[in-house]
Amino acid sequence: MRLFIAVPVVNSVAKNIENWLEKMDIPGKRVRVENLHFTLCFLGERPVKEIDTIKEALRDGLKDKKAFNLSLNGINAFPSKKNPRVLFIEAKKGKEELIDLAQTVERTLSFYQRDKPFLPHLTVSRLKDYRDKGDKNDLESLFLDNKDVEFGEFKIDQVILFSTSGHIT
């Protein structure tokens, strides 16, 4: 079973993002609004028998973590704005706390090894097909015109274990 640990985006902020995506006519394959989340760590294929152990480790490892607010402002792209494949929204206020949360999750799961530094981001569209067909000037103006757009703020008070087929905890 393919597993990942994530923080879901609350409905009110997700709705703001959905409205912006529609208004801006964002290209590419969009992430469905109900699937918006910050991935803290991707565990990949794990045996079903490990789920309870992972859940227990997360409960124990995160029990002293305090809730915090996270604001979402501005857009960016991976690997770069000049060669975008993934369009994402940036975490601003609360970003350091989100990084710390991801690091705590990583330390909690002894088998997990991160292959690159954690960068808080909220994927909203995959641009692979658009990039091959679209007008790069459109994307450049999109980045410029939306560098400071505000999507809202919400409280992070839960971490969820997901499978690629849905929510587990």
The CA distance from 155 to 24, in Å, is: 26
The catalytically annotated residue of 121, 139, 142, 151 is 121
Whether 121 is a known active-site residue: answer: yes
The catalytically annotated residue of 7, 37, 75, 124 is 37
* Beta strand pairing call for 121-126 and 84-91: antiparallel
Whether 37 is a known active-site residue: answer: yes
SS3 28: coil
Write out the E strands in 46-140. 68-79, 84-91, 121-126
The CA distance from 71 to 151, in Å, is: 7
- Report, as residue numbers or ranges, the catalytic residues: 37, 121
